[in-house]
Chain A
């Protein structure tokens, strides 16, 4: 069974631009979560989607948004990029997202903002 895939793996943008990252969950998984990892803040939860609905949201500004499609694939968008948005963005999929289901992570997208 294929794992979680994320595209692109690496991305370089400049301040003020916007970016869209993509995540394809494991087949059959309907929950997709997004996390940001930086050296200073560690791994932080961004949001979680299930059946195209956002169920949970972390403490990030409105510049960070996401969506999920009917095939469970998900995208996240960051508008008006700032230097501090440079990070590893990780996507995780789970059968239902409930606490008894483990989450499986993708390899991440490394975003660099210049």
Chain B
């Protein structure tokens, strides 16, 4: 599996955009980038995923660089309820049915 690197923590002001970086320099062409978050003591929550193109849904936007070696998750208007651990995960192309979680980024949204 391609490994990911994320900053251990970051702060964000409520109402501002939160930009969460992730490096995956060894990613292969058929590997997807997934983002999940985990609010304290709850199960991880799916946010978004992408292969090559940028993606947007009601929760966030995912920007993947052209060389696919890094990506950024954007929470457009962070709220206090967005405080969580955010995981960037790369999934391989075939016969990979698991999610390999790293340490993630602890995001704290401050009022």
Interface residues of A (CB under 8 A from B): 4, 31, 33, 35, 42-45, 48, 50, 55-56, 58, 88, 90, 92, 94, 97-100, 102-108
Chain B residues with CB under 8 Å of A100's CB are 32, 49
Q: Is the interface of A mostly helix, strand, loop or mixed?
A: strand
Chain B residues with CB under 8 Å of A103's CB are 46, 99
Chain B residues with CB under 8 Å of A55's CB are 95, 97
- Listed stretches B17-25, B37-45, B64-72, B74-82; interface member: B37-45
Query: Which range contains the number of B residues in contact with the other chain?
Result: 20 to 34
Output the least CB separation between A35 and chain B (Å). 8
Output the least CB separation between B14 and chain A (Å). 26
Whether the Cβ atoms of A105 and B97 lie closer than 8 Å is no
Output the least CB separation between A101 and chain B (Å). 9
Whether the Cβ atoms of B32 and A90 lie closer than 8 Å is no
Whether the Cβ atoms of A105 and B32 lie closer than 8 Å is no
Whether the Cβ atoms of B49 and A45 lie closer than 8 Å is no
Output the least CB separation between B53 and chain A (Å). 13
Whether the Cβ atoms of A102 and B97 lie closer than 8 Å is no
Whether the Cβ atoms of A102 and B98 lie closer than 8 Å is no
| B93 at interface by CB-CB < 8 Å | yes
Output the least CB separation between B5 and chain A (Å). 15
Separation of A100 and B102 alpha carbons in the complex (Å) = 20
Output the least CB separation between A3 and chain B (Å). 9
Chain B residues with CB under 8 Å of A50's CB are 97
